[in-house]
């Protein structure tokens, strides 16, 4: 049985290397997809939660992290067929993300009152508000209502 597995491993490895010479992204996508799918199948078979972040200790080699399942609001991506993201989808996700942050802060304040917020978190929240202001300006410019300014 080991020779059949070794033979299969050799053929798959050669095919991926051959593909990598002409289409590296697809070869990496296939190899990664097989690894992640196999890992999740084994975990499901053992009754483990596959929706959380999964950390694999590589020992002397590199460690591997399989990130938690993305919520729809985290999936604003640039499609392969276009160099631009789907603006409607990104706007929907931005609104969802902003609502999640506001709801989380409201919940924490209601539960604990005033919170000690680190300078780093405060800076990120201020940066987020600035980005929302820039998005509003960009939208106004796209509608011909003003100009984009940084």
126-141: average pLDDT = 74
Per-residue pLDDT tens over the stretch 14-28: 888 888 888 888 888
Q: Which two tokens mark 16?
A: 């991926």
Place of tokens 């209601």: 110
Per-residue pLDDT tens over the stretch 56-99: 888 899 898 888 877 655 555 555 555 555 666 666 666 666 77
Q: What is the CA radius of gyration of the chain?
A: 23
Residue-level pLDDT at 99? 72
CA distance 146 to 88: 20
CA distance 42 to 51: 14
């Amino acid at each position: 049985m080991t020779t059949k597995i070794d033979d299969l491993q050799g053929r798959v490895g050669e095919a991926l290397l051959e593909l990598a010479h002409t289409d590296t992204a697809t070869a990496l996508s296939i190899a990664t997809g097989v690894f992640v799918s196999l890992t999740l199948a084994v975990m499901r078979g053992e009754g483990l939660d596959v929706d959380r972040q999964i950390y694999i200790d590589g020992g002397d080699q590199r460690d591997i992290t399989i990130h938690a399942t993305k919520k729809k609001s985290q999936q604003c991506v640039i499609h392969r067929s276009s160099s631009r993201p789907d603006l409607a989808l990104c706007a929907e996700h931005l609104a969802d993300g902003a609502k999640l942050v506001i709801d989380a802060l409201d919940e924490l304040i209601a539960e604990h009152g005033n919170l000690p917020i680190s300078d780093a978190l405060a800076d990120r929240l201020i940066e987020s508000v600035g980005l929302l202001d820039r998005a509003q300006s960009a939208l106004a410019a796209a509608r011909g209502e003003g100009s984009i300014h940084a």
